[in-house]
Structure 1
Amino acid sequence: MRVCFIDRETGKLKVETVAGEKYLKWLYDTNIGKSFLEYVIKKRIFSRLMGLYMDTPLSKKKIPSFINDLSINMSEALDENITSYKNFNEFFIRRLKEEARPIAMDKNKLMSTADGRVLAYDNIDINKVVQVKGIEYTLSELIGDSELANDYNGGACIITRLNPSDYHRFHFPDTGIPRKSKSIKGSLYSVNPLALSKIQKLYCKNQREVAIFQSDNFQEIIMIEVGATCVGTIVQTYEKDKPVLKGDEKGYFKFGGSTTIMFFKKAVVKIDSDLLENTLKGYETKVYMGEAIGTKLVLS
């Protein structure tokens, strides 16, 4: 299964370099692999052990080949010297130079919270939220709150899938105040499109963090971070009830691919047409943190 996405800068279709592609196909396409997935890989203990290894100095040796295999641009990193990282996870959550990710500061523009590949939906049915074509889930299952979910019927949903090669810190899409939050325990399936096409309601099964963000310009937003295979840790670096600025860091994922999801109430944001059109065609769109991805419907 080739994973293709639209490069937003060029408008061209590109084939994604998938880390461990053969391994993923074995896990999700073979009977032996599926058994190993269910009894070992999806368990939190597996990802926790992998995460512990990635925190040790021994893991440093993986950095050069990882950069080379996934064509990572180290000139964007705040610290370009790969020998200065104490372990692989320290490299994986590297900070970037401010100019590498300019923020769309217009208050009427919604910015992407992370680097990644986007699927976007408007006028959503909260009982039939799309995971991938042909697979759906309910918002109440995802966030564990049916009353809150009802407020978002007819609204918008933006899913950003982070590839292991991406910058793995995530940020706030607007000025505002982060309110209540909760952690939901779960499994740790891969979030690669191959896994998403095989595992029903994957996002509802995986470990995830759910937070309410009272945005200044886009009303109340549900912000979700979903864990994945080898993502033993989702770290939140913000303080609840403390005002934040647009682009401020919310947290980061340690080693592995991951996903962020945002839900907006009805008639709040108009998602950029190219993202919606590409999604309808079945393609994700590559975006960068800070990039404009939508517009406030009632301008101010």
Structure 2
Amino acid sequence: MEMKSLLVLLGLLPALACAQNGTDVYLMRVTSANGIPALSDPANISNKTGYDNQPFFHPSKPLLYYTSMMPDNQTDIMVYDLSTGTRTQLTKTPDSEYSPTVLPNQRDLSCIVQRKASGDQDLVAYSLADPNTTRLIFASQKTGKIGYQAWINDNEAVAFVLGEPNALHYFDLKAGTDAVIAPQIGRSLHKIPGRNTFSFVQQTGNRWIVREFDPKTKKLTDLTDSDPDSEHYNAWTPDGMLLESRGTQLWAFTPKTKVWTRVPLPADLPAKKISRLAVRDGFLAIVLDE
């Protein structure tokens, strides 16, 4: 099967995003109301027709990175400055970049690069100071095609690796190891705030379970159920609340109470399907269908 056909079938990376429904990245302000996020001031920051997706906040600068489809039907990484409201194109390559993620060193941005010539999906680091300076982190010819990634430090990462089934891999660059942790996983991978652990979503029978992986002990812990009818996109708030998109709704889970609560959305936010989420202090980025 050709790479493009495979991606359309699995819906993993939008190689043919121009043929899919367009998506927009919205930014909202977040405060707290009785322990539940209170959202306001939604703004469409991608502000164009077509595929704009996969938001990721810089951990210490007022910047939001996201994937954007270009007129030639390949994707590059855009940067939105929260302080000025301006957009800048970070990458401009013949290949397609996806899943922008600021590395813990905060000097580099790692991306999944889909090679135009071969269809390989490699993990590559771009220097934030000079995006023309790159280094290959993982070659998909060795690891398998990579879809998504999350980092705990500059040496340890987890990745969604395509296969039959798709699986969670744990990479230790310093030790040079690649371990398969769990099969049948979803697309949301995150470092849990305040912990040196990762969260992911795994299908078990008819259930989708949000699980925690501790690289030090190799222990897996069940945290809660993900809604079985959703696409299992989630994100952690800095204070340890888990958000999940469910159709046109947003829900929040507090580990202490172990209760899911629906989050009210602003009346001026379009009532469209929500998918990916990203959070930082005071802000929430969400992806809506056009």
Structure 1 length normalisation: TM-score? 0.26
Question: Greater relative contact order (Cα 8 A, min sep 6): structure 1 or 2?
Answer: 1
> Which structure is higher in helix share?
1
> Which structure is higher in strand share?
2
